[in-house]
Structure 1
């Protein structure tokens, strides 16, 4: 089927929303937001308000749906995304530091390049090739200095490599370590099993990419899940009954890691305050289970 839909002007987009029963109280403001956010991006936030149209089989909106409601959800999701990115940044830096220090102290500055430490030689070769591209592109002072001063090895010591590789690539290096004992040693300071940390690293890389591209988090169904931990006890208790494809478990895990990395952080309270401040953003749409506030992982938040 050939795509044949014409482009639609912003005034016509607003007219279409009104035709479908959306209330637009301030058309000047609506035109402003449509211009600087776009119809297509906002569309994801009015989908929950849609109902089948009675006549033409298209979509209409529930009675009383306002453009301002859609904008409220959009702003909520933006603030949620910034909160999640704030936590991911600190967790990511901590994982980089722990991995690099363990590998350097155990196998030396360039031991991470030794294929004998990895379960899959082909995957390791691809990871090294990807790292080589990333390092060659880097204009960081330390990267330029290493390339100008040293001819061998071609790649830098692990503490430099950890700073230029993407987080997705870091999770591949860590997850493919052959010996479980080594993965467990890297995971131990974070208070979780290595399988959980490996799984969460892959999942967090996926969530990070969504955030980096300004994607929707609020009711996003993830394609990359994380493993539910068996310990500490508050984690499996918090995640019981939660939808594993949505954001709730990610938030619980980020808070657990932050409690170790940044003791005294008020991040969890900021998350709860954000949820409480937007009644339109039903926590159920983020995978939150019934009675989530009474569970130990969330207890203590106002």
Structure 2
């Protein structure tokens, strides 16, 4: 079957929505939303407003209802990015500290310090590429002063690579060192590693303005035994929020992130949080109290 849909002008996009029972009382404003958000991106938020298996909207659904859900999701992404910025900096610092002290300043350049399955050459190649394109002053200063050194000190290298590359490197460290690092965050190494992978995926979703509301996680984190006992699921955003708050309590005990998250959800009380698997009484349970 060939794809036959054509690109529609803004007016035609709006007419299509109206023909499907969506209320648009302020037509100029509705056209502005379509121009600034895009029909296809906005359509990801049509789901809870549709009736049955058709493309038609439930009676009484206004475009403003859809846009409010879009705004809710956008502000949720900002909250997640703010939290993960602090978490990522702390994790980088801890990994850098322990690797440098256990393996040495340039120990990361020795493949013997990693699992045999790790593509160590590709890892070093990545660092070289990031160094070449870096405009950081510390890189230029180091290369000017230490002209005989092949590699950057580890604490410089970790400032250049992505969080995803860092987590992949962590995954291939020797077990004892992985455990030592994970203990800084009071988690078993396998759980902590899975959290790094899950947070990297969510961070990428946020960076690309992807939908968080009702998204099924592409990378599902492992759960601590206590969470499993509580029946917590690892398929949707609630588990990510739990991970974020748990890590923030370690790296930033005075953080008010959970209060900002509550305030955000309370400001959009019409949004169905169950679609993200937030329990009905989540605000009255740990770690949210």
Q: Taking structure 1 as the reference length, what is the TM-score of the superposition?
A: 0.90
Match 2:241 to one of 223, 241, 251: 251
Distance in 1, matches of 2:115 and 2:135, equals 32
Shift of the 51–145 alpha-carbon distance from structure 1 to 2, 3 Å rule, reads: same
Q: Does 1:110 align with 2:106?
A: yes
User: Could you say which residue in structure 2 is the equivalent of 1:142?
Assistant: 138
User: Could you say which residue in structure 2 is the equivalent of 1:50?
Assistant: 50
Match 1:161 to one of 152, 157, 160: 157
User: Could you say which residue in structure 1 is the equivalent of 2:95?
Assistant: 99
Q: Taking structure 2 as the reference length, what is the TM-score of the superposition?
A: 0.94
After TM superposition, give the deviation of residue 153 of structure 1 in Å.
4.0
User: Could you say which residue in structure 1 is the equivalent of 2:18?
Assistant: 18
User: Could you say which residue in structure 1 is the equivalent of 2:168?
Assistant: 172
Distance in 2, matches of 1:133 and 1:245, equals 35
User: Could you say which residue in structure 2 is the equivalent of 1:123?
Assistant: 119
Distance in 2, matches of 1:35 and 1:288, equals 33
After TM superposition, give the deviation of residue 165 of structure 1 in Å.
0.4
Match 1:222 to one of 208, 217, 222: 217
Distance in 2, matches of 1:194 and 1:109, equals 23
Match 1:265 to one of 255, 258, 271: 255
After TM superposition, give the deviation of residue 279 of structure 1 in Å.
2.3
Contact 1:115 1:121 in 2 (8 A): no
Q: How many residues align?
A: 289
After TM superposition, give the deviation of residue 290 of structure 1 in Å.
4.5
Shift of the 121–196 alpha-carbon distance from structure 1 to 2, 3 Å rule, reads: same
Distance in 1, matches of 2:172 and 2:149, equals 22
User: Could you say which residue in structure 2 is the equivalent of 1:295?
Assistant: 285
Alignment of 1:31-70 (within 5 A): 31-52=31-52, 59-70=55-66
After TM superposition, give the deviation of residue 46 of structure 1 in Å.
1.1
Question: Gaps (5+ residues) in structure 2?
Answer: none
Deviations 1:130-188 (A, max 9, x none): 2222222111111222334444543311100111000000001111112x221111111
Question: Gaps (5+ residues) in structure 1?
Answer: none
Contact 1:135 1:155 in 2 (8 A): no
Shift of the 42–166 alpha-carbon distance from structure 1 to 2, 3 Å rule, reads: same
Contact 2:131 2:160 in 1 (8 A): yes
Q: Does 1:275 align with 2:277?
A: no
